[in-house]
Chains A and B, each alone.
Chain A
Amino acid sequence: MSTSDRTIVERATTVPRKRIGLYAVLLAMVVLYLLPLETGLFTAFKTQSAFQTTIPVLPPIGNQFTIGPWGQALDRLWPALGYSVAFVVPATAFSALFGSLAAYGLTITKWRGQIVVMLIFVAGIFIPYQAVLVPLTRFWTGIVDIRGLLGPEGSLVALTITHIAYGIPICTLLFRGHFKGLDQSMFEAARLDGATIRTIYRRIAFPLAIPMFAVTLIYQFTNIWNDLLFALVLVRGEYEVVTMALQSFTGSMVGQYNLLMAGAFITALPTIAVYVLFGKQFAEGVSGGGA
């Protein structure tokens, strides 16, 4: 048997084995990636004594099973869920809208210097929030006394506006990538027909950007819902949003892991739902956000 024959034979036998190995590795990774969620989910359905005596990966059986932790956690987190929805929805919508407008004004129109303005926008994506925390708290108390103006709900308004401002850079970048990828001759034709910049946005750019709105809204919703840091420094007292509520819940329920896991799932439910329904758009936002 010549050497080339041998390699062919070898390949024929090793290829299926390789495929099996490949799937085994992929599945092992699936187990690793889902393990924290799976143990969390089972633990949330166990009684206090059960989760201390059973192995976390095993499901609750018989009298180990209870839905009690979910009720308790929901009671605790319910108001916070409402406040989170109330500020995340407008913050998401406006950051996407501002982002699309800014990207349009900085991409499709023709004037020099827009690259520099764009650079300043994009750099904003990478700013560590810590670098602005002290001024932010001063701004929303000293310069604009938001709670004095609007009462305690002012906290949520301050949080909304802050998130809009910090969401604009990433939204602008996402929309810019989209506008740059469009066929530019369309805009040229509209221009030659005498359409104004405003008309071109309304009639061409905006309708074409609707898929990108889906990506941006989903990405921003997840980001803003998940944030803890801004809420910690801007929200005082009774209007704590859901990430804050879960954080203080962990502090008050030390060791009650069934309660904590139920609370974590309740907090994560909106983002998990969005992810399961719109995973493709989320992935696009994530990869575009890095570019």
Chain B
Amino acid sequence: MDRIVDRVRRYRSDEESTSDAPLATDGGHRTGGLDLGPEFVQALPFWLPAGLLVALFVYGAIGWNFLVSLTDWSGLQASYWPLDFGMYTRFFERVFAQSGDHALSWLPAPLADLFGRLLTGPIEYWSFRNTIVLLIVFTVLTLIVGLLLAILIDQQIRFENTFRTIYLLPMSLSFVVTAVFWQWMYNPRYGIINSALETVGLDFFAVDWIGAAQFKLLAVIIALTWQFSGYGMVVYLAGLRAIPNDQFEAARVDGAGTIKMYLRVIIPQLRAATLSAAVVLMVFALKAFDFLYVIFGSRPGPGADILSVMMYRTAFDTSQFAYGAAIATILFVLALGVIMPYLYIQYQRGDL
């Protein structure tokens, strides 16, 4: 890792010294001013067409979406007047309106939900809450499972490729496809999960996984973890392989047990892998849409509604385009909150 960074640095400083432009460096990095030298002009045809497409469809669209979110546009005809933050205040008022006056409210919220607390209150509250729960629980679970798989695979096993291929297979499938499979897995009467639970006498746990409000989100998280842990494995495996062998050896010679060695020596070195995998998983969790839409349609209800589904429903089922756009902007800001620190760290390390 350090070697690569070093090489990049050297390459960069070469670049700067051979460039005939005046050097303006900022802590070792080149700054934003454009150098209109001959190479700039020659490079333009290569990146500009792609850049224009991205500028128009990605950034232009984000700006336009923000503009729409400031209007009161609902129904077919767009109207761009008056502009205000009404949609945002409406959203957050409802998010924080949850009073908590329910039976069982003395329990911590997740437990109370599990024991059948009525999921009442504005859907904004539940969407927001479920989005955050999905983001955290899904990311942590997927990282843990991915790390375990990577460590197992890294034990110089036979058929390593076959195992790896199987664990990564779900990643290559469409969410529409995996949603159809999991609908069958979770079927309360004929599905394999409840059949298995009943066979081993755990009838109590044979619940209606995707029908009962309090289990829906859990069911989604389990299925998505199944689909994404292969990604975690690939990232961690690359991280493990980058750790020099002598570190494993040294830890073994010291007489440390395997588990201790991993906890103390190896896992702390996987910080970079964890960071980049976590960012990708969190951003994914924010936009997870296809899977929920196929299982629950556009109305998952308070048990599993998330902002990305709510945005789609608000804008395209009920034609409240301004409100939908506001929810989209909130999602975008959440994603920015995840990726900006990450890109900044990458940039500082020279890894970009």
Contact = CB atoms under 8 A, between A and B. Distances in A.
A259 B24 CA distance: 65
A131 B50 contact: no
Nearest to B295: A250
Contacts of A276: 165
A25 interface: yes
A34 B232 CA distance: 17
B231 A290 contact: yes
Interface of B: 8, 11, 14-15, 18-19, 21, 24, 29-37, 39-40, 42-51, 53-54, 56-62, 64-65, 68, 78, 149, 152-153, 155, 157, 161, 163-178, 180-185, 187, 189-192, 195, 226, 230-231, 234-235, 238, 276-277, 279-280, 283, 286-287, 289-290, 293-294, 297, 307-308, 311-312, 315-316, 321, 324-325, 327-329, 331-332, 335, 338-339, 343, 347, 351-352
Contact of B164 (A111, A164, A283): A283
A201 B184 contact: no
Given A132-B62, A166-B58, A260-B180, 8 more contacts: A22-B152, A127-B335, A130-B311, A130-B328, A162-B57, A268-B173, A271-B174, A290-B276
Interface of A: 22-23, 25-26, 29-30, 32-37, 39-40, 43, 51-52, 55-57, 98-99, 101-102, 104-106, 109-124, 126-139, 142, 161-162, 164-166, 168-169, 172, 180, 184, 196-198, 201, 222, 225-229, 232-233, 243, 246-247, 250-251, 257, 260-261, 263-265, 267-268, 271-272, 274-276, 279, 282-283, 286-287, 289-291
| Dominant secondary structure at the B interface | helix
Contact of B39 (A110, A115, A136): A110
A261 B173 CA distance: 13
A29 B47 contact: no
A112 to B, nearest CB: 4
Given A102-B51, A290-B231, A290-B280, A30 B163 contact: yes
Nearest to B56: A165
Contact of B54 (A121, A129, A243): A121
A105 B46 contact: yes
A119 to B, nearest CB: 6
Q: Which 9 A-B pairs have the closest CB atoms?
A: A105-B46, A226-B174, A105-B47, A165-B57, A132-B61, A109-B43, A111-B40, A131-B332, A102-B50
Contacts of B24: 112
B46 A261 contact: no
Contacts of B65: 131-135
A243 B176 contact: yes
Contacts of A120: 54, 59
Contact of A279 (B54, B64, B165): B165
Nearest to A255: B187
Nearest to A273: B172
Q: Which of A37, A99, A127, A226 has the most CB of B within 10 A?
A: A127
A58 B205 CA distance: 22
A228 B50 contact: no
Given A226-B176, A228-B175, A228-B290, A169 B181 contact: no
Contacts of B294: 228, 247, 250
Contact of A166 (B57, B234, B279, B339): B57
Contacts of A138: 64, 78
A112 B157 contact: no
B287 to A, nearest CB: 4
A130 B178 CA distance: 21
Nearest to B60: A135
B46 A272 contact: no
28 contacts: A26-B152, A29-B149, A33-B167, A35-B192, A55-B195, A56-B190, A102-B46, A112-B24, A112-B30, A113-B31, A119-B352, A120-B54, A132-B65, A133-B315, A136-B57, A168-B50, A196-B42, A225-B174, A226-B174, A228-B290, A232-B293, A233-B316, A250-B180, A257-B187, A260-B180, A263-B180, A271-B172, A275-B172
Majority secondary structure of chain A interface residues (helix, strand, loop or mixed): helix
Contacts of A136: 57, 61
Contact of A228 (B165, B174, B192, B315): B174
Nearest to A98: B50
Nearest to A25: B152
Contacts of B155: 22
B292 to A, nearest CB: 11
B339 to A, nearest CB: 4
A271 B173 contact: yes
A32 B226 CA distance: 9
A115 B339 contact: no
A222 B60 CA distance: 26
Contacts of A32: 226
Contacts of A196: 42
B200 to A, nearest CB: 13
Nearest to B167: A33
B130 to A, nearest CB: 15
Nearest to A108: B43
A129 B325 CA distance: 12
B289 A229 contact: yes
A131 B62 contact: yes
Given A37-B181, A198-B42, A228-B174, A128 B47 contact: no
A243 B174 contact: yes
Nearest to A34: B166
Given A56-B195, A131-B65, A261-B181, A109 B42 contact: yes
A265 B178 CA distance: 10
Given A115-B29, A243-B176, A282-B172, A168 B53 contact: yes
Nearest to A289: B280
B43 A134 contact: no
B173 to A, nearest CB: 5
Contacts of B308: 128, 130
